[in-house]
Amino acid sequence: MKHTCKWLALALSGALAFSLLAGCADQDASSIAGSTAPEEMQAAAEPPASDALVIAEQGIFSAGGTVIESDGTFDMANYYTSREGSTAHVDHANVLYQIPADADGLPMVFLHGYGQSRMGWMTTPDGREGWSDMFLRMGHSVWLIDQPRRGEAGQTSVAGTMTTTPSDQTWYTQFRIGTYLDDAFTYNEGSQFPQGEEVLDQFFRQMPPDTGMDNAAGDQGIDNTVVARAVAAAIDEVYERTGQDSILVTHSQGGLPGWEVPLYTDHVAAIVAIEPGAAPEVESNAYDALLEQQIPVAFYYGDYIGEEFTDVPAAAMWSMMAASADTFTEAYTAAGGDSTVIHLPDEGITGNDHFMFQDLNNDVIADHIEAWIQENVQTQR
């Protein structure tokens, strides 16, 4: 009889469950069931609603890259130390992907910016849900890239020099999160960036080095063509696996090779550029490829951009960068292309810095991007 009571208490909810526990010894299951309406029994038996994200398929692979080989003949007798006649697989992209069970949107390929990796799309410094999960919930498969010579794609054909010179304050200021005054990190007025020492600790620790750039000399830079070719190879692989073109989402430095990707693939459905370093120059090869393929483009910029923000050191610099989007859009739309420049404050979305996808209102911005996709992309491609 004790087992019957336990089962009934778990199966039913609320006051009914407590009444059963009190009087179970005097009643049997049939009399209890008979005193409850069928619809109430069904509701009690159903599990609570869940917001669990169901992934139908996930995996990780490398795309693009090349193989280099050293001169000479490999010495098998000294296999551990011999490097002559050896090969290295380098300069590829590393792609982690997830496909939701209810996928009904175009695939989204995410390309990070300088000093970052795919981690930035997956979470936030305070542990909230990142854009990758948000767009999975919207029905998109997500394909998260570590670009060549960064993160899990660190194998490189070009030797770099990684500096140990501290630079947290520099990037914090450049990213328009705030400033560093009196030995303390400050936040811009109305900032949506999550705050606290633990948050900043997590944010700074998500920055990996670039293994193929001479940071010490500062004269080598990032090879946009190497990155663009690898990303294009990843997008071609997405097409092979899904039969769909991809929406390419870029951020900051990733925006520069992002414009070149259509030079090497015709499977880009749209580009969403989150504060790119610059727009493509009008009549450049990248511009012509975008126009020829009629790829819709959206630029997204946050707050604290413009000379009026005198207390934000990087505001004027970002204003010049953003101006290139206006130049591009004017020419692109006049030539028959589709380009939109979105300044979030103009949309009533304020307080966002260079990392809008990690800000407290990242869900609001994700919804805005999805609305743009629905209106401008899926009806065209």
Taking the model in full, what pTM does it have? 0.85
Alpha-carbon gap, residue 172 to 175, rounded angstroms: 5
Quote the percentage of the chain above a pLDDT of 70: 84
Q: Of the given ranges (23-37, 46-60, 247-261, 324-338), which has the lowest mean pLDDT?
A: 23-37
SS3 198: helix
Which residue has better confidence, 215 or 3?
Answer: 215
Q: What is the pLDDT of residues 75-120, one digit of tens each?
A: 999 999 999 999 999 999 999 999 999 999 999 999 999 999 999 9
Tell me the pLDDT band of 221, cut-offs 50, 70 and 90: confident
Question: What angle separates helix 2-11 from helix 14-23, to the nearest 10 degrees?
Answer: 170
Contacts of 106 (CB under 8 A, 6+ apart): 140, 244, 245, 246, 247, 269, 373, 377, 378, 381
Q: What pLDDT is stored for residue 49 in this prediction?
A: 56
Structure letter (DSSP) for residue 54: P
Contact 90, 66 (CB under 8 A): yes
Q: What is the pLDDT of residues 262-273, one digit of tens each?
A: 999 999 999 999
Q: What pLDDT is stored for residue 160 in this prediction?
A: 83
Alpha-carbon gap, residue 210 to 156, rounded angstroms: 10
Task: Name the pairing type of β-strands 87-90 and 66-69.
Answer: antiparallel
* Distance linking the first and last C-alpha atoms of the chain: 64
